[in-house]
Amino acid sequence: MAEATYDDVEKIIEEFPPSTKKIFEVLRSKGPMTQKDLINETSLSPRTVRHAIQRLKEKGLIIEKFYFKDARQRLYCPSKN
């Protein structure tokens, strides 16, 4: 995905369901988190969080990083949009 502007990101986010918007806003406001952290922070089900992460990654709005504290988990953070 080409570098998106703030307005582009907002248009993409509008199309998502509330749960996906919530995940994105939490990552944007609180910074990098694991899936487990997102589940605890949002009180959404693991399946809902997984689905939201997948959608956000597909649109290039978040990136997945290696989590050095626990190699079994991944760290998710907003891409530089």
Counted domains in the chain? 1
User: Which among 36, 30, 26, 29 has a CA at the least distance from the CA of 70?
Assistant: 36
Mean pLDDT computed over 43-68: 96
Residues 74/56, Cβ–Cβ less than 8 Å = no
pLDDT of residue 47: 98
Confidence band, pLDDT 50/70/90 cuts, at residue 48 = very high
Q: Is the pLDDT of residue 64 over 90?
A: yes
Does residue 14 form part of some domain? Answer: yes
Mean pLDDT computed over 52-78: 95
Does residue 26 form part of some domain? Answer: yes
pTM of the model: 0.84
Greater confidence, 12 or 57?
57
Does residue 66 form part of some domain? Answer: yes
75 strand-pairing partners = 34, 65
Range of the domain at 48: 6-78
CATH label of the domain that carries residue 11: 1.10.10.10
Does residue 1 form part of some domain? Answer: no
